[in-house]
């Protein structure tokens, strides 16, 4: 009888007293046939204009530009939320935060994470016979059963949250600068409020902390090595695989490392962009050498650039949110302006995804889950509804239309109680509040075809320190996105506004009704200092000695 699920062997006790898994890449029985492999790469805080093929002023993404020329580039692709944890939760569940429970970021001391009754993409694919690996930033809960190894990933190597949420010995560039971890008995300097100095940033391999503090200067290289090892071992095992890579780039802090090729006099941001591009290039090269014809590689971002970081923030391209900028505050990360959630996206699959194609289809990070599940021949989790759609027709060049009707009423599940006859087959996305104005997760911005309606604006900090005033709009501000800068809303008395307004109200009412009748989850956002990752509580900042990490396939008990 073939082994259809990956064996996770408990092979030892770490120095923390935890059991950790050893991935068994081999199995008996039939081979995988034509099941595709999947590599999903998620950049952090990368602007739409940071991709060279999107914005001519960017010259630092040669590998991504080449991948776009060999595949499909999406120019109307959106994050599911405009901050870290909610965006990642939606990628792995295909559901908005009002459904999956993750509406804002988890903290270093968070007890909970992505609710355990939510089914992740990794869990679905593992049940379908896939090897599953995750490398990089997780940020969906690190304590107990919220760790990636318990959420469907057979192998994990990475950091549990953003790399500015713990001190390091190589803090790099940040705005404002943060101090290095304290050593010995020396107390930490009084840092800015946003700096973490009490506990060092940990690096995990499976359930083991293998380095604390992380050496940020070598982190990208380690990610490249672990990703290529995973791809190589999985490919030679004759099993299909899912690899999810959560990059640290382009989140602050930045540091120059050997991967960052290019002019030595470049800005820290440009250097970081080149490093990220090189890391993506390493992963793509390994795919091309081992499983090119049978591997779908999808690159995108979690949200737009963090404007309050000034010169350390990326480019929104033409999506400058001028209406908000004129009011004060940021129109980028944390907001629902285009600069906050319109993100770069590239799909690559030789022989399947047509080459050198620019797609204008309205798509979202929410679509990754149902698309990958469909391509893998797996089944969607029952008894819940999804906000993403299967984008296969777009990917394979058969359609230029993404979200049709209310995005939650796709043919993934039956919803006999809803009717969209009054709206027709309009293209719709809903953008949740993500830390700027309004209640976390609330759907107060609606994209309808080429129109966008805001029921609330303001609340995010700009580089100059200004925070736009929170403003509620009843009736909503509506922009025609032919005005890409979102500079001037439609006149409320105009025929165009009056034609769009009832449609916006109807699709918003429909999705809220749908959510009210759905099987929704609630995340535990309570905090307890005792759950802070710490490999040696007897040392200041939890500092501990490290050894070199192990090969993906042969990890054993790692001793300090």
Q: Is the pLDDT of residue 368 over 80?
A: yes
Q: Residue 283 and residue 243: Cα distance in Å, rounded?
A: 10
pTM exceeding 0.85:
yes
**What are the φ/ψ torsions at residue 506 (nearest 5 degrees)?**
-70, -45
Average pLDDT over residues 230-239: 94
CB-based contacts of 454, cutoff 8 Å, min separation 6? 336, 444, 445, 473, 476, 477, 478, 479
Q: What is the pLDDT of residue 391?
A: 96
Q: Residue 20 and residue 12: Cα distance in Å, rounded?
A: 7
Among this protein's residues, is 84 annotated catalytic?
yes
CB-based contacts of 506, cutoff 8 Å, min separation 6? 422, 423
Distance of CA 256 to the CA centre of its chain: 23
Q: What is the pLDDT of residue 296?
A: 98
**What's the pLDDT tens digit per position in 100-121?**
999 999 999 999 999 999 999 9
Average pLDDT over residues 212-225: 95
Q: What is the pLDDT of residue 225?
A: 97
Q: Residue 366 and residue 196: Cα distance in Å, rounded?
A: 31
Q: Among the options 139, 163, 251, 431, which is catalytic? A: 139
Q: What is the pLDDT of residue 262?
A: 57
Cβ atoms of residues 432 and 81 within 8 Å: yes
Cβ atoms of residues 359 and 71 within 8 Å: no
375 closest CA partner among 242, 513, 485, 522? 242
Look-up: residue for tokens 């290095």? 180
7 closest CA partner among 172, 21, 228, 355? 21
Q: What is the pLDDT of residue 30?
A: 38
DSSP 212: B
Q: Among the options 84, 195, 410, 535, which is catalytic? A: 84
Cβ atoms of residues 255 and 217 within 8 Å: yes
Mean pLDDT of the chain: 87
Residue 178's pLDDT band (cuts 50, 70, 90): very high
Cβ atoms of residues 96 and 82 within 8 Å: no
Look-up: residue for tokens 């990475």? 158
Q: Is the pLDDT of residue 487 over 70?
A: yes
Angle 395-335-470 from CA coordinates, rounded to 5°: 155
Q: Is the pLDDT of residue 267 over 70?
A: yes
Q: Could you give the residue ranges of the DSSP H alpha helices within 309-466?
A: 322-327, 338-341, 368-375, 392-395
Q: What is the pLDDT of residue 189?
A: 59
Q: What is the pLDDT of residue 186?
A: 62
Q: pLDDT higher for 512 or 255?
A: 512
What residues form DSSP beta bridges with 199?
541
Q: Residue 403 and residue 410: Cα distance in Å, rounded?
A: 8
447 closest CA partner among 391, 492, 503, 493? 503
Query: What are the distances in angstroms from CA 454 to CA 91, 97, 123, 322, 404?
Result: 24, 18, 36, 14, 20
Q: What is the pLDDT of residue 24?
A: 55
Angle 139-437-486 from CA coordinates, rounded to 5°: 100
Q: Which of 173-187, 255-269, 407-421, 436-450 has the highest mean pLDDT?
A: 436-450
434 closest CA partner among 306, 336, 324? 336
74 closest CA partner among 298, 227, 292? 298
Q: Is 466 exposed, middle or buried (0-12, 13-18, 19+ CB in 10 A)?
A: middle
Q: Residue 265 and residue 253: Cα distance in Å, rounded?
A: 18
Residue 170's pLDDT band (cuts 50, 70, 90): confident
User: How much of the chain, in percent, has pLDDT values that exceed 70?
Assistant: 84
Q: Residue 354 and residue 90: Cα distance in Å, rounded?
A: 27
Average pLDDT over residues 514-533: 97
Q: What is the pLDDT of residue 256?
A: 62
Q: Count of residues for the chain?
A: 560
Average pLDDT over residues 358-385: 96
Q: Residue 334 and residue 352: Cα distance in Å, rounded?
A: 35
């Amino acid at each position: 009888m073939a082994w259809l699920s990956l064996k996770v062997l408990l092979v030892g006790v770490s120095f923390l007293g935890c059991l950790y898994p050893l991935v068994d890449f081999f199995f008996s029985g039939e081979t995988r046939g034509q099941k595709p492999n999947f590599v999903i790469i998620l950049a952090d805080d990368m602007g739409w204009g940071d991709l060279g093929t999107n914005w001519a002023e960017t010259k630092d993404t040669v590998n991504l530009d080449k991948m776009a020329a060999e595949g499909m580039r999406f120019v109307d692709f959106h994050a599911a939320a405009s901050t870290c944890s909610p965006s990642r939760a939606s990628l792995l569940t295909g559901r908005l935060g009002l459904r999956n429970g993750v509406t804002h970021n988890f903290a270093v001391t968070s007890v909970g994470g992505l609710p355990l009754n939510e089914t992740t993409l990794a869990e679905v694919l593992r049940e379908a016979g896939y090897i599953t690996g995750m490398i990089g930033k997780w940020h969906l809960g690190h304590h107990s059963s919220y760790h990636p190894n318990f959420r469907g990933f057979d192998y994990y190597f990475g950091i549990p949250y953003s790399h500015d949420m713990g001190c390091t010995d190589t803090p790099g560039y940040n705005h404002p600068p943060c101090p290095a971890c304290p050593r010995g008995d020396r107390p930490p300097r009084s840092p800015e409020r946003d700096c973490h100095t009490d506990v060092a940033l940990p690096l995990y391999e499976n359930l083991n902390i293998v380095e604390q503090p992380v050496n940020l200067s070598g982190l990208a290289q380690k990610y490249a090595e672990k990703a290529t090892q995973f791809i190589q071992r999985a490919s030679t095992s004759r099993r299909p695989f899912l690899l999810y890579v959560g990059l640290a780039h382009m989140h602050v802090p930045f540091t120059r490392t050997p991967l960052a090729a290019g002019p030595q006099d470049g800005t820290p941001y440009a250097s970081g962009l080149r490093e990220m591009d090189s890391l993506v290039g390493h992963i793509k090269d390994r795919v091309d050498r081992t499983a090119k014809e049978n591997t779908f590689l999808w690159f995108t971002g979690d949200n737009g650039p963090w404007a309050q970081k000034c010169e350390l923030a990326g480019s929104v391209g033409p999506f400058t949110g001028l209406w908000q900028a004129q009011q004060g505050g940021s129109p980028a990360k944390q907001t629902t302006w285009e600069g906050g959630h319109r993100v770069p996206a590239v799909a690559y699959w030789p022989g399947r995804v047509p080459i050198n194609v620019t797609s204008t289809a309205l798509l979202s990070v929410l679509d990754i889950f149902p698309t990958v599940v469909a391509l893998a021949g797996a089944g969607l989790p029952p008894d819940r509804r999804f906000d993403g759609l299967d984008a296969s027709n777009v990917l394979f060049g058969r359609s230029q239309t993404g979200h049709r009707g209310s995005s939650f009423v796709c043919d993934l599940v039956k919803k006999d109680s809803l009717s969209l006859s009054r709206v027709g087959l309009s293209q719709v996305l809903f953008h949740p509040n993500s830390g700027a104005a309004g209640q976390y997760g609330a759907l107060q911005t609606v994209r309808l075809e080429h129109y966008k309606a805001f029921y609330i604006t303001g609340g995010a900090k700009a580089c100059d320190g200004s925070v736009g005033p929170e403003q509620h709009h009843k009736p909503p501000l509506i922009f025609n996105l032919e005005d890409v800068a979102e500079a001037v809303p439609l006149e409320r008395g105009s025929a165009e506004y009056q034609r769009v307004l009832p449609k916006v109200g109807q699709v918003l009412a429909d999705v809220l009704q749908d959510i009210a009748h759905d099987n929704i989850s609630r995340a535990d956002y309570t905090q307890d200092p005792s759950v802070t990752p710490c490999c040696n509580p007897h040392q200041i900042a939890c500092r501990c000695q490290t050894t070199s990490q192990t090969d993906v396939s042969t990890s054993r008990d790692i001793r300090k």
